[in-house]
Amino acid sequence: MTTVRPRRSVLYMPASNARALEKAKTLPTDGLVLDLEDAVAPEAKAAAREALVAAIKAGGYGKREVVARINALDTPWGADDLKALAAAGPDGILVPKVSSAAEVEKVDAALASAPAKTRLWVMMETPLGILDAKAIAATARKPGSRLSVFVMGTNDLVKETRAELDANRTQALYWLSVAVTAARAYGLDVLDGVYNNFRDADGFKAECLQGRRLGMDGKTLIHPDQIATANEVFQPSDAETAAARKIIAAFELPENQGKGVITLDGRMVELLHAEMAKRTVALADAITAMKG
């Protein structure tokens, strides 16, 4: 089993907000996206880039995964952002508005001399990006590719498609499911879009649950108040972890060696369930290790 990286909660914050960058060091989030794009005004872009590079170099974020979101490559800032971040070497570089496999390959190539740990994350937030999700995800198979995570940009998809989302996000299900399916086909993680109404705790929790049921690995967040709920929803519960350990143990019994299907507590359990159980346990263990 390859190592599992917990990405239950990934909080955006403007890289121009010094207070937020400092506060992030104490928040119980699995990851941070330090943003140079939409959360930063054009006049503040250059200063934010400097602050971001300095924050990455200074560190202090513990086990939190630190990801820098650059400006799109067709903007006046994108190329400089990419160059500065490739040298600074955060855990990840998030590229917005990706619409084709060629764009991903171009960024991957530009990261050739970045530190090995720096992964490539891409925003799935344009109509072309959704329509080309398979080709975009498939670039992860190319030798040396750093592509690791899809991040849903639901606000941009709403803007571009003119969809109007109801409380159940019925109109977004196609985008979300296409992205999850493409991500899984090529071994990527996929994070759900943000919930704008950050004072609505019940609505947020319901949307986290929906994301988990769709197969999302976690949720992108805009406010610290959203962290605890995302962590809880996207982690295996104690009961789920215990059930998973039981399935693994059952297949390890001498009498079950070589079997593809067994009965456990009156239910059919197949080897595929043992594979799922191993992932559940690996994720639970990785979450425990985050706390240590």
- Give contact residues for ligand COA (rule: CB under 6 A): 11-14, 19-20, 23-24, 35, 38-39, 194, 222-224
The partner in contact with residue 25, picked from ligand COA, Mg ion, none with C-beta cut-offs of 5 to 8 angstroms by kind, is none
Q: Rounded to the nearest whole angstrom, what is the least distance from the CB of residue 37 to Mg ion in the complex? A: 7
Number of residues engaging Mg ion in binding (CB under 5 A): 3
Q: Which long-range contacts (CB under 8 A, 24 or more apart) does 114-118 make?
A: 114/85, 114/86, 114/87, 114/89, 114/146, 115/89, 117/89, 117/91, 118/86, 118/89, 118/90, 118/91, 118/92, 118/93, 118/146
Give whichever of 36 and 101 is closer to ligand COA, judged by the CB atom: 36
Q: Rounded to the nearest whole angstrom, what is the least distance from the CB of residue 185 to Mg ion in the complex? A: 24
Q: Which of 30, 103, 156, 189 contacts Mg ion by CB under 5 A? A: 156
Structure tokens at 159: 């803007």
* Residue among 169, 155, 100 nearest 133 (CA): 100
Q: Rounded to the nearest whole angstrom, what is the least distance from the CB of residue 50 to Mg ion in the complex? A: 23
Measured distance CA(11)–CA(223) in Å, rounded: 7
Q: What is the dihedral of CA 287, 34, 25, 291, to 10 degrees?
A: 0
Q: x-or-dash pattern for Mg ion, window 82-121, by CB under 5 A?
A: ----------------------------------------
The partner in contact with residue 19, picked from ligand COA, Mg ion, none with C-beta cut-offs of 5 to 8 angstroms by kind, is ligand COA
The partner in contact with residue 35, picked from ligand COA, Mg ion, none with C-beta cut-offs of 5 to 8 angstroms by kind, is ligand COA
Q: Rounded to the nearest whole angstrom, what is the least distance from the CB of residue 145 to ligand COA in the complex? A: 25
Q: Rounded to the nearest whole angstrom, what is the least distance from the CB of residue 102 to ligand COA in the complex? A: 25
Residue 35 within binding range of Mg ion, rule CB under 5 A: no
Q: What is the dihedral of CA 45, 46, 52, 54, to 10 degrees?
A: -160
- Residue 180 identity (one-letter amino acid): V
Of the listed pieces 104-112, 145-153, 207-215, 229-237, which binds Mg ion according to CB under 5 A? 145-153
Give whichever of 64 and 212 is closer to ligand COA, judged by the CB atom: 64
Give whichever of 111 and 158 is closer to Mg ion, judged by the CB atom: 158
Measured distance CA(157)–CA(216) in Å, rounded: 17
What is the b/e burial string over 185-200, where b = at least 16 CB atoms within 10 angstroms of the residue's CB?
ebebbbbbbbbeeeee
Strand bridging mode 218-221 / 9-14: parallel
Residues at the contact surface with Mg ion, assessed by CB under 5 A? 125, 153, 156
